[in-house]
Amino acid sequence: MLRSIAAPVLVLGTFGLAAEVCQGACQPHEVFVPAGVYTPFFKSGTETRPVPVDPICLSATTVTHEEFLGFVRDHPEWQKSRIKRLFAEDSYLGDWQDDLTPPPEMISQPATFVSWFAAGAYCEAQGGRLPTVAEWERFAGGREPANNPGAAPFAFAMGQAAPELANTGLTLPGVWEWTANFNSTLISGRIGTTEGADSSQFCGDGIRAVDPSNYGAFLRYSFRSSLRANFALKNLGFRCVRDVP
Amino acid sequence: MNRLKAVALPFLAAVVLTTDVTSEPSERSVYQLDSSWVEDNGQAFKLAALEGHMQLLALIYTTCEGSCPITVKSMQMFSRSMPADIKGRIRFLLVTVDPEQDTLEVLREYRREMKLDRRWKLLRGSDEDVRELAAVLGFNYEQIESGQFAHSNLVTVLDRRGEIVHQQNDFASDVKPVIEVIRRQQP
């Protein structure tokens, strides 16, 4: 059933003229991303199955330390000394000096060392949610330019704005980002296996990839599949989206 | 950290029995998830209600053609052939990752078909709540073509407070680790 819907949309799949009209539905700090189609990186069985994606209002930037400070002030249960271990591992807000002191020199930098639970709770408190993998890949999964000597190594894997969203203010600061369904990809499908076994699975997945030359997507998908919901990592931040009102 | 544990353990062993009932839910307990579930019999259900018994937990869906039938069958075989000293110390919990197809009626039919007794609970929840539970367990899944799912093949043992004490793939091939984990827990 999805497929019959997807086919006509696919034809109009690129970001259309409606974009400018609907930007009004979003807030000033947000970018309007019109409805469209996302083609998953991995084939579903032997076929590629484009997925329709609803329009969203997307935060133009990832959440900063300053913004996260506001959140933990209002919601003390997410402060680093109070959070329950199920919801975040020991390294949660590991760069903060105490419950209400983020690193001063990083105040406007992306908040990292944040777990999936904390990121989700932040977005919910703002009336939003975390983007799905499909949504994220659609706005930030642009291919790296073939020759980009200035780019930091691997930064391309942490997100390149879709060409249609250039000049919208969309900022990708070079950190990994949480997604709502980060645990939907099976790169290895196993826990507790040796590195050797994992890398053989990783290679095997190349056969399943829609575009095996998209190295950035490989990195993102394997990174996501290795996460647990309570992980709090130095290079992992987040941004929120809202369904278009 | 390890040294602390070594010191604390003898005390814990003595204290556990007296504090267990009244203590706050453990910091790592999965039962802190406030998600709402429905049992196949239509009863509303919170995970915290599982407290008090160890659980052998698997995420499945009833139309699964791959590994889930093997997982459930091997859990069943395990439930019938548990060594005498651990009999009755663990319950069985199946949570569907496909709430759309696995309605309560379908789950009830599944219970009948698989002959699952009262020690087994079958739970259905919202997509979001299933996603959250899976994220906590480290269980990855994604719907693929024709109603099937690509998914981890993971079985989890929760202790009486809801902490993850053991996880393994390929439960069918070796149940010994699970037996050992159950033995290590307070009866």
Domains of chain B: 26-184 (3.40.30.10)
Residue boundaries of the structural domains of chain A:
124-239
Question: Of A135 and B187, which is predicted with more confidence?
Answer: A135
- Partners of residue A225 in chain B, C-beta under 8 Å: 140
If you average pLDDT over residues B97-107, what whole number do you get? 96
Q: Any chain A CB within 8 A of the CB of B141?
A: yes
Measured between CA atoms, how close is B31 to chain A, in angstroms? 10
Is B140 within 8 Å of A186 when comparing Cβ atoms? yes
The beta strands (E) that lie in A39-139 are given as: 51-53, 56-59
First to last CA, chain A: 26
Task: Please state whether B115 falls in left (phi above 0), alpha (psi between -120 and 50) or beta.
Answer: left
What integer best gives the mean pLDDT of chain B? 86
- Give the Cα-Cα-Cα angle B142, A134, A137 (nearest 5 degrees): 130
Which residues of B, range 6-35, sit inside 8 Å of A by Cβ?
Answer: 27-30, 32-33
- Partners of residue A192 in chain B, C-beta under 8 Å: 167-169
- Partners of residue A116 in chain B, C-beta under 8 Å: 135
Cα separation, A160 vs B59, whole angstroms: 35
- Burial label for B44, CB within 10 Å (0-12, 13-18, 19+), is exposed
Q: Any chain B CB within 8 A of the CB of A45?
A: yes
Is A192 within 8 Å of B167 when comparing Cβ atoms? yes
Question: DSSP class of residue B24?
Answer: P
If you average pLDDT over residues A41-47, what whole number do you get? 68
A63, two tokens: 């959440």
Measured between CA atoms, how close is A69 to chain B, in angstroms? 23
Q: Any chain A CB within 8 A of the CB of B61?
A: no
In this prediction, residue A17 has a pLDDT band, given cuts at 50, 70 and 90, of very low
In this prediction, residue A237 has a pLDDT band, given cuts at 50, 70 and 90, of very high
Position A161 pLDDT exceeds 50:
yes
Q: Tell me if A13 sits within 8 A of A37, measured CB to CB.
A: yes
| Dihedral, CA of residue B25, residue B26, residue B31 and residue B35, to nearest 10 | 80
Among A48-62, A155-169, B56-70, B100-114, the range scoring the smallest mean pLDDT is A155-169
Burial of A81-114, coded b for 16+ CB within 10 Å and e otherwise, reads eebbebbbbebbbeebeebeebeeeeeebbbbbb
If you average pLDDT over residues A212-216, what whole number do you get? 77
Q: Tell me if B91 sits within 8 A of B119, measured CB to CB.
A: yes
Is A229 within 8 Å of B145 when comparing Cβ atoms? no
Give pTM, 2 decimals: 0.82
